[in-house]
Each structure stands twice: as C-alpha cells, then as structure tokens.
Amino acid sequence: MSLHGHASRKLESASISENERVLLRCKAAKELESAGEYEAAKAELGERWQGVGQRPKVADLSEAAKAELLLRAGTLSGWFGSSKQIDNAQELAKDLIFESARTFERLGLTERLVDSQVDLAVCYWRSGALDEARVTLKQVLSHADQDSEPRLRALANLALLERVAGRFNEALEIQIQSAPLFERSSNHALRGNFHNVYAQVLKEIGLAEKRDDYIDRALVEYTAASFHFEQAGHLRFQGHIENNLAGLFASIGRYSDSYDHLNRARALFERLEDKGGLAHINETLATTLLAEGRNLEAANAAHKAIRIFQDGDEGSALAEALTTEGRALSRLGRSRDALSSFQRAIKVAQKIGDTHTEGLAALNVTEELLSILPPKEVLNYYRQAETLLPKSENSRVRLRLGECARKILATAVSSSSSVSLEGGFVQVVGGDQDQTSESKSLTMNQPSVPCSLEEEVLRFEGDLIKQALEKAGGSVTRAARLLGTTHQGLAFIINGRQKSLLSARKPVRPRRRSIIRYH
C-alpha cells in the first residue's frame, strides 16, 4: 500500500490528535507532490492551505507540525509558481520554507532541516539565484547522511545547477561520483532526476567536443529517466524529458524527431494545464526552427514563450527566451527589435545575478549585430561577454568568443579604427583620435595603401599578441590570460601563423618526465 493510501486510512481514525493528523496529511501531500500531482497535494492539506505563497493555518499546532505544514505550503507554492507562472511565487515560497527550516533547526530535527534546505535551493535556482542555490546545496551535502533522500536530492540539483551555469565538468564529476548512491535508491522520481541531468550534461559535452559517443549515451540516459518517471507516475517530468529529447535531436539536425518529441511534450503539458512546461516547449521549438532557418516562425515561438515567462518569476528562462527571440529577429533583418530583445535579456539576467545567461546574451549581440552597431558598441558587448564567460567549460562558447574577436579586428581594419590592448581587453579607438607617448594603450597604425584584409587581420592579431607578451614579460600563460584565451590556444597561434613572435616569448621549459612508466 502506498504511503498516501496508508495515511488516508489513519486519517479516518478519531483517536489521533490534530497534530498527528496534520503530519499525516503532510506526508501524503509530499508523496503526491513527488509524483507531480500538485492539485491533489494541495487538496490533501485541506482547509489549512490558504493559497500560493500564503501562510497556512498553523495557530493551533505544535512546532513540529507547524514546520511540516509550512514546508509543504512553501514547496507547493514553488511548484505552482513554476507550472502556472505566478509572479513572486518563488520569493513567497522561500519565505515559508525558510521559516520551516529555522523551526526544524531549533527543534534539532537535522534530517528535516536539510530536506527543507534542498527545497529552498530549488526556489533559488528557479529564480536565477544560482550562487545562493549552490551555497545552500553544499551546506546540505556537508550535513546530510550518505544514503539519505535529502543528500540524493541535493546531488541531483547541484549537478543540474552546474550544468545550467555552464560548468559541465563539475556537473559530470558530481554525476559520476553519485551514480552508486542513486543505483541503491528505490525512489523512482529521484533516479529519474539523476538520469535526466546526466543526459543533459553528456549532451552538452558531446556537442561541445563533437563526441558522438556522448550523444549516444545521453539518449540512453534520457530513456532511463523516462522509465523511472513513468514508474513514479510523474507525467510532468515525462513531459520535460520529451522536451529535452527534442532539444537534443534539434542540436544534431534530426528535426523531424525533434518535432515528434515536442508534440508529445505539448500533449502532456496541455493535459496538465502546465503553463511553464508549455513555455519551455515554445523555447525549444524556437531554437529548432531557428536551426532550420525558419526565422519568422522561430521569432513567433520565442515570443509565445516570453509572454508566459514574463508573468512568472523565472528570470533565467525569460532571459534565454529573449535571447532566442533576438537571434531570430536579427536574421529577419529587424536589427532594432533584435537589439531591444537582447538588451532586455541582459537586464533580466543582471537583475537576478545570472552572469552566465547575461554573458551569452551579450555574446549573441556581438555575433548577430556586429555589422550593424557602431564598433565601440559592439566591443562593449564583447567585453561584457568576455568578462562574464571567462571560465566557461563549453569549448563552443570559447570558439565563439575567439571568432568574435577576429571579426572585431577585421571590422576595425575596414572602418579605419585602431586597436589596442588595455587592461586585458581588446580596445577599438577612432582613427582620428590623438595618440600621445604617455598613452597607456599601444595602438597600431592603419594601413595607408590598399592591402589584403586577411593580411591586416593577421597583422593586427600579431600586434595584439606582441603587446600582451610585453605586458606579461614574455610569459605565454599570462599573455593568454590578458587576451582571454588559453595557454595552449595562444601557443598554437604563435607556433602557427605568428611565428615571428617566437622570440618575444620566454623559452619553453621542458617538462620533467614522469617517474611512472607506461608499458
């Protein structure tokens, strides 16, 4: 018999106290919540539930029962806020959960405390406060028992958070280390979450490193996730798996498969009347259409997602949809509208402190509007992206940054601007700007006769690298840091197309051979 069924039978007993009755109702509500049955979970709380974000009726309860009811009201408020896209729901949910956590801590109920902290971190994550979510989850991991459910929930959510933040290696390490713990769990919803996040991480690394084996493994992990969510009866999460599969197939050019999965996801979310799920589907649809070159349809799909997300308080999702809309509009030739969408995405991401999404939005401005905006304005967006994405583990993002830098150099040549290195960033200076010997930046002279654009780009690149090496005292590692690239990448350029700079770098120190011999 399920926990819900067992609790329902005990609730019929007249011999239990009101505190015991509330605790049983909370257990039953939690089971229903874990299966995505939010309406049923709300009904289980009865007249004590007062609405999304509202404080439940707790006046006559013991401290323990009060804390449990606050926790359930808070977590349900968070889920309803996400599925119905209710403004400020996550903030109100956090308040209820935080009060619950303080009570658990005061009562010395450690397991209930760490469980509530995981729910608090989920609310932080939904609202885009990734740093706060990370700190909270790591606190849970430092206190939770090894095989406890709160620990597994914390691990699954921390891996998901690191993936969203673009820290794929950290996410992969968490998944690999925690796999044995999830294999021992009998909780299908938790195991489904594990396989879902694992699939997302494998997909991102597979696409970035062009590893077909990782893409194949991601498909296997999504299949496993779907199985466990089906066993848990969690239709909402099954819908998210279908949406994730659609995104994966779109990224490898299998658009027909992508649309099939989107249709399945849409059917599930429409059945559940889940606005948040439908918004995510529209965002995935927009990126799929964009990949196919169906720009007008992509812009319309992205706008539908935006209209839903802007009613809620999931800022990261809204910023991503705005960025997608900006890309579509720019390819339709609607540059002014595109810039407006990009700027709004940046503003939304800044407000919630999501630096990764902000950086990606700025990078998209540079890529999509480089030939439209004034050079200095493009450079400002590039510098913003370069600053916010310095530790991106996504090689595709690093390549995009590098390609943007080269295009900015090419644009500087064709527009008779000068380029310099100042404070570790590429600078564009107007061709008629006065230069003094005391200027901190070392500018490059413009060509006075017609020449090859590629040759000039190479010359500008060489001069920038030379400046960086001089500032770094010949250290390739420090120069690479100034230029926003890696030691290996800069060394490759110097040894390849900029061999004239070999004398400007410090001599390469031969590495000591390992004392371990491999046979």
CA-wise closest residue to 456 among 422, 492, 494, 415: 415
- C-alpha R_g of the chain: 27
Asked, for residue 489, whether it belongs to a domain, the answer is: yes
Asked, for residue 158, whether it belongs to a domain, the answer is: no
Would you state the structure tokens that stand for residue 38, as one six-digit string? 């939010």
**Domain with 460 in it:** 420-432+451-504
Distance, in Å, from the CA atom of 147 to the CA atom of 126, rounded to the nearest integer, reads: 26
Q: For residue range 106-128, what is the model confidence (pLDDT) as tens digits?
A: 999 999 999 999 999 999 999 88
Q: Residue 332 above 70 pLDDT?
A: yes
Asked, for residue 500, whether it belongs to a domain, the answer is: yes
Q: Which long-range contacts (CB under 8 A, 24 or more apart) does 441-448 make?
A: 442/467, 443/418, 443/419, 444/418, 444/419, 444/420, 445/418, 446/413, 446/416, 446/417, 446/418, 447/413
Higher pLDDT, 499 or 514: 499
> Could you tell me the CA-to-CA distances from 61 to 48, 52, 94, 428 in Å, in that order?
11, 21, 21, 66
- The alpha carbon dihedral of 94, 96, 99, 105 has a sign of negative
Residue 462 confidence (pLDDT): 78
Asked, for residue 424, whether it belongs to a domain, the answer is: yes
Q: Residue 421 above 90 pLDDT?
A: no
pTM: 0.76
> Considering its fold, how many domains does the chain have in total?
1
Q: Residue 29 above 80 pLDDT?
A: yes
Asked, for residue 364, whether it belongs to a domain, the answer is: no
Residue 62 confidence (pLDDT): 96
Residue 13 confidence (pLDDT): 56
Asked, for residue 461, whether it belongs to a domain, the answer is: yes
Would you state the structure tokens that stand for residue 84, as one six-digit string? 């119905």
Q: For residue range 234-265, what is the model confidence (pLDDT) as tens digits?
A: 999 999 999 999 999 999 999 999 999 999 99
Residue 471 confidence (pLDDT): 79
What is the 8-class DSSP label of residue 398?
H
Mean pLDDT rounded to a whole number for the chain: 85
SS3 13: coil
3-state helix, strand, coil in the chain (%, to 5): 75, 0, 25
Q: Which long-range contacts (CB under 8 A, 24 or more apart) does 76-81 make?
A: 76/29, 76/33, 76/38, 76/41, 76/42, 76/45, 76/49, 76/52, 77/52, 77/53, 78/119, 78/122, 78/123, 78/126, 79/33, 79/38, 80/38, 80/42, 80/52, 81/52, 81/53, 81/126, 81/312, 81/313
Residue matched to tokens 């914390």: 154
> Could you tell me the CA-to-CA distances from 438 to 10, 370, 446 in Å, in that order?
84, 31, 20
Asked, for residue 263, whether it belongs to a domain, the answer is: no
Asked, for residue 221, whether it belongs to a domain, the answer is: no
Residue 235 confidence (pLDDT): 94
Distance, in Å, from the CA atom of 227 to the CA atom of 233, rounded to the nearest integer, reads: 10
CA 110, chain centre distance (Å): 30
The partner residues of 420 in beta bridges, in order of sequence, read 427
Residue 266 confidence (pLDDT): 97
Looking at residue 424, which CATH number applies to its domain? 1.10.10
Residue matched to tokens 């939005």: 361
Would you state the structure tokens that stand for residue 23, as one six-digit string? 């605790």
Residue matched to tokens 């109920």: 109
